[in-house]
Structure 1
Amino acid sequence: MSDSASSSVRQARRDLAARLGEIRREAGLTGRELAGRCGWHPSKSSRIENARTVPSPEDVLAWCRACGASDRSQDLVASLRVVEGMFVEWRRKERDGLKRVQEAVLPLFERTRRFRAYSSWLVPGLLQTRAYTESVLRAVQQRRVAVDDVEAAVEARMERQRVLREGDRRFAFLVEESVLRSSLGGPDVLRGQLDHLLTVGTRPNVSLGVVPMSPDRLRMPVEGFWIYDTAQVNVELVSGYLTISQPSEITLYEQAFSELATQAVHGPEAWALIAAAAAALG
C-alpha cells in the first residue's frame, strides 16, 4: 500500500462515511431528519457522516432504509466489514507463533470450492513441498517472530494441502516465471519444488499457469493474492495481511486474475518453462 496501514484504514472509514453522506443527500434529507427516521440523537448522524464514529451493520441498514436505498445496504455493510478487519499487522497476527496462523485459515479453505491464487513472490502454499515450506517459514520466523514453532507450522500447512484431494474443489494458480527461478532454500530445495509442480499441476482439478518474463507484457506483476469463491480476497503485504470482502473490490481482483491468466501459458508451454528453470540449476 502506498500509505501506512493505519492511514489506509482511516481513509476507508472516510470513504464509507462519504458514501453514507451521498445517500442522505440524494434522499433530500437533513442529518436531523435522518436521525428522526432512525430513532437516533442528531449528533449520531453527524458523527457517522464525519467519520468520527464507525457505524454498526445495523446502523448502516437503518441509514439506507431511512433514505429509501435498501438496495445499496449490502455493499455498504461489506465495506464496513472491510474497515473493521481489512488489515492486520504481521506482528499482531503472528505474536503466538506461526502454527496458529496456518491453522486459522483452515476453515476458510474447507468451505471454499473455487480457489484462484496469483503469486509474484513464492510458490503458493498449497503447491509447496515440505522443504520449500520449511525454508519459507523459517525465514519468516527469523525475521519477525519471537516464537519458534516452525516445525509445527510446517505440519499444519502440509495437512492443509488435503483440500487439493478432497471434495469437488477447483484450483487455478498463476505464478510469475521469476518464482520458478528463486528460492530461499537453495538449489536442491528449488529443484524438488519444480519437480513437484510438474506433478501436482497435472491433477484434473488444478490449473497451473506461468506468466512468462517479457519486455512487452500488458499487465505488470502485482502483489500476490488469493480469491476464495466470490466471497473474499486475501492479500499478503510486507507489513500485514489484508482481507477484502467488498463485492466491488473482489471484482477488481477477479479482473486482475483474468488479465494475468490471458498472459500466462498453461499445459506443455508451462511445463517447458518449469523444466527450463530446473535445467538452469544444473
Structure 2
Amino acid sequence: MTKKNIFSLDNKVIVVTGGTGVLGGHFVNAIVQAGGIVIILGLNEERGNAQVEEIKLNGGEAIFLKVNVLDELQLVDAKERITQKYGKIDGLVNAAGGNVPEGILNPDDDVFNLNIEGMKEAMELNLWGTIIPNQVFGPALAKTGNGSIVNISSVGSKRALTRVLGYSMGKASIDYYTKWFAVEMANRYQDSIRINAIAPGFFLSEQNRNLLTNPDGSYTSRADSIIRQTPFKRFGKPEELAGALVWLLSDASKFVTGMDIGVDGGFTINSGV
C-alpha cells in the first residue's frame, strides 16, 4: 500500500508575495521542490520572469505577476487571473516586507527626533503588506477546504533590537494579528483555512546588508554582536527556512494554527549566560 506523503505540495497552487526578494526567492524554490505550483508576486519584473524561466527549465510550474502588495486593486486582479488559470488557490506566503532606510535610527541620530514617516512606511509595508493580501486571497483559500497562510515575523518582534523600530513594530503587530486572525477564521470556517507565522533569525539580505556587513564584506560590530548572542554562532542560510515553510503549507500541519515558528539558531531563547 502506497502511503501519501503528507509533506508534499503536489498540485497545490501557492502564492508568494515578495517572491523576487532574497528570502522570497528561496521560499519559491522550496515550494517548487516540494511539488507546488508557485505564483510569484513582486515588483522586480526582470527578476520574476527569470525565476519563472529557471523553474520551467527544471520541470516546475510558475508564473510571475507584477503586484504591489499595498495596492488592493492589483491584488484583486492577480487573484482573478490566478483562479481563472488554475481554478483555486491553496496557499499564501506573505514574504513581502523588510526594512526601509528612512525607518532606521542611526547611532548619532536624536532619539527624540525619529523619522516618523520612515517608521510609518516600514510598519505599513510589513503589517498592511501582510493583512491586505490575506483579505484578498483568504476567501479563495477557504474554498479549498484546506487553505494555509504563512506570515513572516522576525526575532525583532521578540527582543528589542536597536535602530529598527518601525520594522520591529510591524513584525510585532504581525505576531498578534496572526493569533487573532487564526481564531476569527476558525470561528467562521473551522479547519478549512489556517494561518501561522515563521519568525526568522538573522539572514543576510539586501535589506539588512548595510547594517551587517562593511563594504569589504567583513562583519560590522552589530553583526558580531548578533553572532555572539546566537548559540549556533552564525547567520542562518535562507534554505534553512524551507522545512518550516513546507510543513506549514502542507497537510502535515493541518491541526496547527495561530503559531509562530522560530527559525533563529537559538537567538530568542538565549539568556547570554
Which is helix-richer, 1 or 2?
1
Bin the TM-score by the shorter chain.
0.3 to 0.5
> What is the TM-score of this pair, normalised by structure 1?
0.32
> Rg: which structure is higher?
1
